Amino acid sequence: MSAHELQAHIDTISAEIEAQKEVLSHLERRRGAVQRQLNAIKDPVARLPLEISSEIFLQCLPSEFQVGETSSYVAPMLLLEVCNAWADIAISTPGLWAAFRIVRAYDAKRMGIWFRRARTCALTVFVRECIWCPDVALVLKEHSGQLKHLEIEEGDCELNHLVASGPFPSLETLKIVGLPHEYRGGPPERFSLLELLEILRLAPNLVECSFCATLIYCHSEITEILTLPALRSVKFTPGWLHHPDPHNAAYILRYLSLPNLHTMSLSSKDLSLGAFSLFLQRSAPPLQTLYLRGSSWDLSPQPNRPLELAQYLPSLIYLDLHDASANELNSALAELSPTLQTLKVHMTFVVEGFSFHTLRAALSSRPQLAHFKLLAPFGSQVLEDLEGFRRLEANGMEIYIGTVMNNLLKPSSTSLM
């Protein structure tokens, strides 16, 4: 055969090979489809009532860190790939689609699909780096009435798109997390105080609000006080370095009235004592749990200063003082309401002459106090009046005095309170 004829023969064989490959590919697809049908018939999950199989699928949701993750290796996306029956169950389980994490601007389309599958479920949204493009805002506005939990990570952004997505009548928890510039290596991230106040106004049923390493800016005068009667918990958590009032998020307390606040966490470096006292005076909240960090929380009366913290805490049950001094410990025991049941104090240093006798006497005057914990670098110091403290324990008061690893009342014990 000539070279031309041989080449033509090779081309014919190659064409037949390609045709057979297509046939093989078609058969493999048919086999996969039939296998999925067989899986659906043999699968015990598919034979369960939808209520039970849906509950099993809900237990497959990832940890809190990955909730709302849309990657193919986590539920619910992974459940769609097992078989047709599992895909049907997953799509018919609204709770699987009730949380979404926005990490890219083009996630808006996928978020719309998820929330349509969630039907009437309460929704949770995590936003990273404030990706509030118009498409994301549009989808969120469509479902704003269902939004129950919202978390925004890493600021340095305008929140006007979020404001435009409101109102949020069902929003119960709001968490805003900034990333300190000491970590990023760039300028500090800031949120607009006006926009934060507007978001709070658009969420009249907000129950819990927290700010972590959050800085703010305000270029306009604010004259109105926003009252949020549903808000019961507010927490301000600092970053690695503090930024003083008015840059810290706690500055927002100057413009809020929270008449039903039950739980609060705050640092003296976040807000001045006077501003905090004015907030308590204005709100008159029934605070029951209070976490205070810093060494400027003097609870006792002082000359020429009528605003004292203790008088605005008549219903306090739990108090945690961090970085406290001996004076603050003494004033807490002397001035706070008799409703106090738990007092935890973390002292960064112990002054010379610290009196355990005075402490024991102060505790004895508060028989309603059920839990007392004092953590301080006592070193090799010996607890004086040991029998007096043990009598308090025998009367029902749980006491821990010492370091993290050693309770002076019970040497070699480890902190469990």
Does any domain span residue 152?
no
- Residue-wise pLDDT tens digits, 218-248: 777 788 999 999 999 999 887 545 555 557 7
Does any domain span residue 300?
yes
Q: Which domain holds residue 413?
A: 287-417
Q: Band the pLDDT of 262: cuts 50, 70, 90.
A: very high
| Closest among 312, 352, 356, 368 to 335, alpha carbons compared | 312
User: Side-chain half-sphere of 305: how many Cα atoms within 13 Å?
Assistant: 15
Q: Which residue has the higher pLDDT, 145 or 271?
A: 145
Q: Band the pLDDT of 271: cuts 50, 70, 90.
A: confident
Does any domain span residue 347?
yes
Indicate the average pLDDT of the chain: 81
- Residue 305 above 50 pLDDT? no
Q: Are 120 and 94 in contact (CB under 8 A)?
A: yes
Does any domain span residue 66?
no
| Closest among 158, 175, 159, 167 to 201, alpha carbons compared | 167
Does any domain span residue 202?
no
Q: Which residue has the higher pLDDT, 343 or 223?
A: 343
Question: How many separate domains does the chain show?
Answer: 1
Alpha-carbon distance of 297 to 292, in angstroms, equals: 8
| Closest among 417, 381, 377, 325 to 393, alpha carbons compared | 417
Q: pLDDT value at position 351?
A: 64
Q: Band the pLDDT of 304: cuts 50, 70, 90.
A: very low
Looking at mean pLDDT, say which of 3-7, 21-25, 82-86, 268-272 comes out highest.
Answer: 21-25
How far from each other are the two terminal CA atoms of the chain, in whole angstroms? Answer: 94
What is the pTM assigned to this prediction?
0.78
Q: Are 345 and 324 in contact (CB under 8 A)?
A: yes
Q: Are 250 and 271 in contact (CB under 8 A)?
A: yes
Does any domain span residue 366?
yes
- Residue-wise pLDDT tens digits, 392-410: 999 999 999 888 888 888 7
Does any domain span residue 412?
yes
SS3 of residue 111 by DSSP: helix
- Residue-wise pLDDT tens digits, 16-47: 999 999 999 999 988 888 887 777 677 777 77
Q: Using alpha carbons only, give the angle 131, 195, 268 rounded to the nearest 5 degrees.
A: 105
SS3 of residue 374 by DSSP: strand
- Residue-wise pLDDT tens digits, 364-384: 988 899 999 998 887 666 677
- Judged on CB neighbours under 10 Å (0-12, 13-18, 19+), 354 is middle
Torsions phi, psi of 323, nearest 5? 60, 40
- Residue 191 above 60 pLDDT? yes
